[in-house]
Amino acid sequence: MRASVLVRPKDGILDPQGDAVRQSLRKLGFDVSSARVGRVVDLDVDADGADEARSQIERMCTELLANPLIESFEIRLEE
Amino acid sequence: MTDKPVVAVVVFPGSNDDHDAAWALGAVGAEPELVWHADAELPPETAAVVLPGGFSYGDYLRTGAIASLAPLMAAVREFAVRGGPVLGICNGFQILCEARLLPGVLRPNRQLEFVCRDATVRVDNAASVFLRRCVSGQELVIPVKHGDGAWYADGGTFVQLAARGQIVLRYTEDVNGALGNVAGVVNEAGNVMGLMPHPEHAVDPLLGSADGGLLLAGLVDAASAHRALIAA
C-alpha cells in the first residue's frame, strides 16, 4: 500500500527555514505573510488493509519520522 | 586493567571529532577506546561513554535521529540506565536527545547560519557530576561549531528542568536561538550530559582555552567513581 507522511513544524515552533523562504518569496514580489517548511515521506508498506497500514505508519511517525516535541504528522493513504 | 578508566568513544558514520575527543580524553587521564556504532556491546571495562561531534548519517531526517537507532545505542542506553556516565558533544548531544536519554531537541540555528567560534558559557549547576571541577557561575570559553544547536523544550518542561538543576550550562549571549541560552543539560539522574560546545577543542592554552579540560576531567573523575562502584 502506498502512503505519504507529511511532517510539519508544530504551530508556534520557530521555523527559521520557513522564514527564509517567506522572505525570498517576498523579494520575488509575492505577498506571502507566512511560510512553513516540512517534509514528505512517501512509503510503500506491506499491510493487510488500510487500518493496519495506518497503525503501522503511526508507529513509524512516533518512533522515527517525526519528533513529537516539535513536529506534527499527517498520514495520507492512497486508495 | 590499566589504572586509567576506559572511556568508550563511539564512532558513527560521519563522526569527525572522535579522534579529537579520544586525544583530549587521553590528555586528561583517561584510556580512550574508539568503538564502532554497529558493535552490539561496549568494551567490558567501559567506565564512561562519549558520543562525539560530527554529522552522523549526513544529518539525514533530523540531526542525530538515525544514529540514535544504531545497534550500539542499545548498549549505551543500558549503560546509562545502570548509572554509567555518558557525555554527548554537539552531534552526540543531538543523538542523546533523539534517543530520549536527554530532554529537549536541537533545532536549526535561528540565524540559519553555521556558527563557528569561541563561545562563553556559564556553569549553572556545578553540583552536576561532570562539572564538579568548576564552581557555579564560573565562565568557560569553549568553541562551538554547529548548524543545529538551538536547544528547545516546551515551556513547562524548561521550568521543571531549571528547578531540578538539569540546565547546567548557558551561553552568556544569544549564540543560536536556544531557549534560555541553554548550552548543556543533564538527565534527571545526572549521569547523562549533552552540550553543544566542544570541550575536546579546548584542553590546551595553545589552542585558545583549556576550559574544556575541566569538563572532560570531570567526566574522567565520574568514570573512575563508576569503575570503583561496579568493582565493589
The pLDDT assigned to A54 comes to: 96
CATH number at residue B114: 3.40.50.880
| Kind plus residue range of the DSSP H or E element containing B150 | strand B150-152
Give ipTM to 2 decimals.
0.86
Q: Do B108 and A64 touch (CB under 8 A)?
A: no
Which residues in A lie closer than 8 A to residue B98 (C-beta atoms)?
A: 67
The pLDDT assigned to B117 comes to: 96
The pLDDT assigned to A49 comes to: 92
Burial of B158 (0-12, 13-18, 19+ CB in 10 A): buried
Number of domains composing chain A: 1
**Do B130 and B166 contact (CB within 8 A), yes or no?**
no
Give the closest of B111, B153, B177 to A69, CB-based: B153
Does residue B1 form part of some domain?
Answer: no
Report the residue of B60, B96, B102, B107 to disrupt the A interface, i.e. the one with the largest count of A CBs within 10 Å. B107
Mean pLDDT estimate for chain B: 96
Report the residue of B59, B60, B61 to disrupt the A interface, i.e. the one with the largest count of A CBs within 10 Å. B61
The whole domain housing B186 covers 6-231
Q: Cell numbers 554529522 label which residue?
A: B55
Cα–Cα dist B28/B22, whole Å = 10
The pLDDT assigned to A55 comes to: 96
Q: Is the pLDDT of residue B1 over 70?
A: no
CATH number at residue A12: 3.30.1280.10
Q: Do A17 and B108 touch (CB under 8 A)?
A: yes
The model's pLDDT over B157-190, given as tens digits with 9 standing for 90+, comes to 999 999 999 999 999 999 999 999 999 999 999 9
Nearest-CA distance B152 → chain A (Å): 9
Beta bridge partners of B230: none
Does residue B53 form part of some domain?
Answer: yes
The pLDDT assigned to A29 comes to: 97
The whole domain housing A48 covers 2-77
Q: Do B105 and A20 touch (CB under 8 A)?
A: no
pTM of the complete model: 0.94
Does residue B208 form part of some domain?
Answer: yes
Q: Is the pLDDT of residue B127 over 90?
A: no
Return the residue of A nearest to B97 by Cα.
A67
Could you give the angle at the alpha carbon of A58 between the alpha carbons of A55 and A59, nearest 5°?
Answer: 90
Q: Is the pLDDT of residue B230 over 90?
A: no
How much is the average pLDDT of B101-127? Answer: 95
Q: Is the pLDDT of residue B9 over 90?
A: yes
The catalytic site residues of B sit at: 90, 198, 200
Q: Is the pLDDT of residue B2 over 70?
A: no
Number of domains composing chain B: 1
Q: What are the angstrom distances between the C-alpha of A16 and each of A34, A66, B61?
A: 11, 18, 17
Nearest-CA distance B153 → chain A (Å): 7
Cα–Cα dist B162/B88, whole Å = 20
Q: Is the pLDDT of residue B126 over 70?
A: yes
The pLDDT assigned to B232 comes to: 81
Give the closest of B62, B110, B153 to A16, CB-based: B110
